[in-house]
Amino acid sequence: MENRLRAALKPIFTVLAVVLALFQIYTTGGFAVFDSTLQKVAHLALILSLAFLWMPIKSFKKSTEPTILVLMDIALSCAAIAVGVYFFSNAGVILERVPFVDPVTDMDLLFGTLAVVLTLEIVRRTAGLPMVLVALMFICYALFGKDLPGPLRHNGVTYPDLIAHLFLGSDGLFSTPLASASTMIYAFVLFGAFLECTGMSSLFIDLSCLLTKKAKGGPAKVAIFASALFGSISGSAAANVYGTGIFTIPLMKRVGYSPSFSGAVEACASTGGQLMPPIMGAAAFIMADLMGCGYLAVIKAALLPSILYYASLWLMIHFEAVKKNLGTIPAEQVPDKKFVLSRLYYVIPLVFLVVILVSGRSVNFSAFSACIVVIIVGLFKASTRIGTNMLVKIASSAARSMLMITSCCACAGIVVGVMGLTGGGFKFINLITTFVDGNLLLLLIMLMLTCFIVGMGVPTAPAYIIVSVLAVPALVKMGVDPMAANMFLLYHAVLSAITPPVCIAAFAGAAIAEAPAMKTGFQAVKLGFIAFIVPFFFVYEPALLLQGDVLIVMQAALSAAVGLIALASGLQGYLVTNAPIWQRIILVASGLCLIIPGTMTDLGGMGGFAAIFLLQKAMKR
């Protein structure tokens, strides 16, 4: 039950959410030139204040939240605003200070410590304990790492120097991750809120149902299309599971899929949304910032791998449906064709966004312009017309979506700051490169496992940031293309959402499907198996990232596509008909050969696949 005082705070939350939206549009929408550090400080202060008003310290399902806890959250919300006010009021001194030369005052220590503690507490409430433990581990490393034996030992950091580095500079809380959250990510979250609150995003599910209404196992294929479209905008695998899974999972169970398979399909489909251009959730913007390249370069590189990801998932589902003769979508669940086609103009804002991005305009300008297009398109229908109340609702929705993203990005900044201050990143690189002794494959496997460990219960963006800061230099040092290195880490940070033992997206799918959580998680690994290995291949063959000669790219794409069919059929035990174990082994081996770059491997893989295909055709006759 909700405490009355907590309920009374909702209007204050709404007002602050509107203030945040106006501030973001003013400072990043091209209306003013604003100091980047102050912009990040204001954004974080507002988000922390909003989070304490919205997120209780714990869930009270059977009793009313004690008033003392609500009063405590009000005090913490005010403290977050006080941190921002202190920074702004001393901005002249703080922005001009010389690190390790100018003294750290007692007030600097007080408000700096407060900023770190408030950030960690909101991360605990929004994202869970794992991310907090990671940040605390790095803070402890900064303070006590001088006492460690071996190569990880550093020269020592005092507490004032640590707080100054994290709070008074641009390499801690207010580093690149928060810069991305407070500019590009907020702009796209706001765009997603416009689509969601006007109901335009519902077109994605309806259109998916219409396209797959006669397909075997149609509901599972609906999940693929709907989650790819919706998940790219939402940027959260778990949120995407709940957004589309409440519709697709019951349908999958209804036509004959097992509960665990249904939950796993939705988990895999929703997770892949963060790899699907043009938006790719939040991590792609951070990648563009960290690499110093344009956002278009990132989505260009991500295009073919994301298509391969969803193609492999579609094939796994298709073979499962044909093998078990599963049904199609029930007729009463298929939306009317005329109704769907009459709303096709809802895609205009998304098309406009892609076009204006390709034209070379900035990401922020493109996203905010697309929001205006949503307003214009909404005028054509009473149900999508945007008035004052709808704008307030959109601002509140965007603010709620940003609570976890911003706090986690600030928390990731703590890790980045500590690594820079202690030199731990370079120590880690030297340690791991010495261990692998020049073996690139072993290094890639170790980094994949690192992504899974760091990503346990942690949102994709901070997981990617933490691993990329440590690992990209090591990969580049071994001759890996920087884009391939970053994309490799992003893929496995994303896939940690479906990797046991902590697989948030799979757990969400299991909850909706009423299936065993771990069984759903391992089923998701099986369905996404191809996605786990594709990143290894584009490290060795950057043509899969659309880099290089056109003919080489086409050859790589074609062989990878046939390889996906071979792998999927081998894993599911069905191509033209049921495949015995020896045929499955040949199909899997042929698929791997086709994805591995090289003319000889392509020929060998194609020969093995063709032999099994022709044999099964003859057997079926």
For the stretch 286-317, pLDDT in tens is: 888 888 887 788 888 888 888 888 888 888 88
More confident call, 38 vs 502? 38
- pLDDT of residue 1 exceeding 60, the answer is no
CB neighbourhood size of 276 (10 A): 25
Q: Which two tokens stand for residue 543?
A: 């043509």
350 to 55, 190, 345, 359, 383: CA distances (angstroms): 32, 13, 10, 14, 19
- pLDDT of residue 389 exceeding 90, the answer is yes
Structure confidence by residue, pLDDT tens digits, 419-436: 888 887 677 777 777 788
515 contacts: CB under 8 Å, gap ≥ 6: 258, 259, 260, 262, 263, 509
pLDDT at 87: 95
- By CB atoms closer than 10 A (0-12, 13-18, 19+), residue 43 is buried
Contacts 24+ apart (CB under 8 A), 142-148: 142/418, 142/421, 142/422, 145/422, 145/424
Cβ proximity of 402 and 181 under 8 Å: yes
pLDDT at 232: 61
3-class DSSP state for residue 574? strand
Cβ proximity of 247 and 512 under 8 Å: no
Q: Which two tokens stand for residue 308?
A: 């391969």
pLDDT at 113: 96
Q: What are phi and psi of 212, to 5 degrees?
A: -115, 20
CA–CA dist 186, 194 (Å, integer): 12
- pLDDT of residue 413 exceeding 90, the answer is no
CA–CA dist 253, 169 (Å, integer): 53
Return the minimum-mean-pLDDT range out of 52-61, 238-247, 529-538.
238-247
Q: Which two tokens stand for residue 313?
A: 């998932």
Return the minimum-mean-pLDDT range out of 32-46, 104-118, 418-432, 540-554.
418-432
Q: What are phi and psi of 578, to 5 degrees?
A: -60, 135
Q: Which two tokens stand for residue 235?
A: 């940027």
DSSP states of 327-347 as a string? ----GGGSPPHHHHHTTGGGG
CA–CA dist 542, 540 (Å, integer): 6
CA–CA dist 27, 43 (Å, integer): 10
| Most confident segment among 71-75, 122-126, 264-268 | 71-75
Which residue matches tokens 């396209």?
211
Structure confidence by residue, pLDDT tens digits, 325-341: 776 677 777 788 888 88
pLDDT at 164: 93
- Cα 300 to its chain centre, rounded Å, is 17
